[in-house]
Copies of this chain bind each other. A is one copy, B any other.
Amino acid sequence: MIYNFKSDYLEGAHPSILQLLEATNLTQQEGYGYDEYSKKAKDLIKRLCNAEGEVFFVCGGTFANLVSIAHFLRPYEAVVCADTAHIATHEAGAIEASGHKLITVKNREGKIFPDDIKRVLKYFKDEHRVKPAMVYVSNATEFGTVYSEDEMMQLGEFCKENNLLFYVDGARIGNAAAYLGYRDFGFVSKYCDAFYIGATKNGGLIGEAIVINNDKLAVDFRYSIKQRGGLLAKGRLLAVQFLGLFEDNLYFKLAERANKMAKKMADAISNLGFEFYIQPQTNLLFPIFPLKFAKKLNEYYGFYIIDEFDDKCVVRLVTSWASKEEYVDKFTEDLKSLLEVCD
């Protein structure tokens, strides 16, 4: 294989994070998140949120979603989300395993809107059904599309009016910010009860920062993290990721680069005459290729074929902060060669 575009977690960490790990390594620190780096990293994050909130570090996106939703909801309460939501498709039923039903809504390019949610709510009236209590969206979505600040605001208002919590999965919130031109998290944080900022897919080795803007939801949250096995003795490891990423806007710069690489690739693909299953916005591309092209390319480049129909298929290509531009170029050149050979 020449190069891998399967995902945005194929490399380790941005080098500056490893440097910070080394620089801080032998200081003695309190355990379980009471170290000085955790304190500093939380302060940095709060400043970027334009909202009062509490910050908690955990070890993964599935864990972040699971511990938050399970902590926020009563046992019979349910989450409304897109049928393509990560929690509904790629988290091994973690939310149901914590006892909560997911009420899925047909997505529109990965997104859902107040009207979509309104349509399902009317069926939930009494204890024979679950009680819808939260709306979950991902921003950027699992298709790489982005909710604008206005759309976030409308979802937030809808939730308030309908007595629903509003939770945002920010595994790729950096890519959303980069697409919208922001270098802070206000466009999400101002409108939701809680969200998380993912480090793993944007330059960190590990780590998600859960931001809880709703005071009541934050009460005893450390109990839930601990009880589910997510309170690291060496909390400094997580803190240092975020310290490094929010030094000098590194987090946003890395996402901007990932999006830029994707855009370069998308433009080239488009110029070659291919269509996209979903219009590209961030670092996930879903071009439609002839199946035989995809299979040939797949011998040299890592990526997923996510759907097939007749002699065509939808491919998922992912760029990241670490993607090498030469391979982004080479990929589209090889695609072009395939085209020429076939003509």
Binding site for B on A (CB under 8 A): 3-4, 6-7, 9-13, 15, 18, 21-22, 24-32, 59-67, 70-71, 74-76, 78, 89-94, 96-102, 126-131, 200-201, 205-206, 220, 222-234, 236-237, 302, 322
Contact = CB atoms under 8 A, between A and B. Distances in A.
A66 B229 contact: yes
Contact of A234 (B9, B25, B232): B9
A228 B226 contact: no
Contact of A232 (B15, B60, B74): B60
A158 to B, nearest CB: 22
Residue from A7, A126, A220, A229 whose CB has the most chain B CB atoms within 10 Å: A229
Given A200-B233, A205-B237, A234-B205, A96 B101 contact: yes
Nearest to A4: B28
Residue from A6, A13, A59, A75 whose CB has the most chain B CB atoms within 10 Å: A75
Contact of A60 (B200, B220, B231): B231
A63 B67 CA distance: 13
B28 A11 contact: yes
Contacts of A71: 75
A129 B200 contact: no
Nearest to A58: B229
A63 to B, nearest CB: 3
A63 B226 CA distance: 9
A233 B60 CA distance: 8
A76 B18 contact: no
B75 A227 contact: yes
A15 B25 contact: yes
A22 B13 CA distance: 9
Given A12-B21, A25-B12, A234-B200, A70 B75 contact: yes
A294 B12 CA distance: 45
23 contacts: A4-B28, A9-B31, A9-B233, A10-B31, A11-B29, A12-B25, A12-B234, A21-B21, A22-B22, A61-B233, A62-B231, A75-B227, A76-B220, A78-B93, A92-B130, A92-B223, A93-B130, A93-B227, A94-B227, A96-B99, A97-B100, A127-B226, A127-B231
A94 to B, nearest CB: 5
Nearest to A104: B104
A94 B228 contact: yes
Nearest to A97: B99
Contact of A322 (B7, B26, B94, B200): B26
Residue from A3, A18, A29, A129 whose CB has the most chain B CB atoms within 10 Å: A129
A70 B67 CA distance: 17
A30 B89 CA distance: 20
Contacts of A64: 229
Nearest to A26: B11
A127 to B, nearest CB: 4
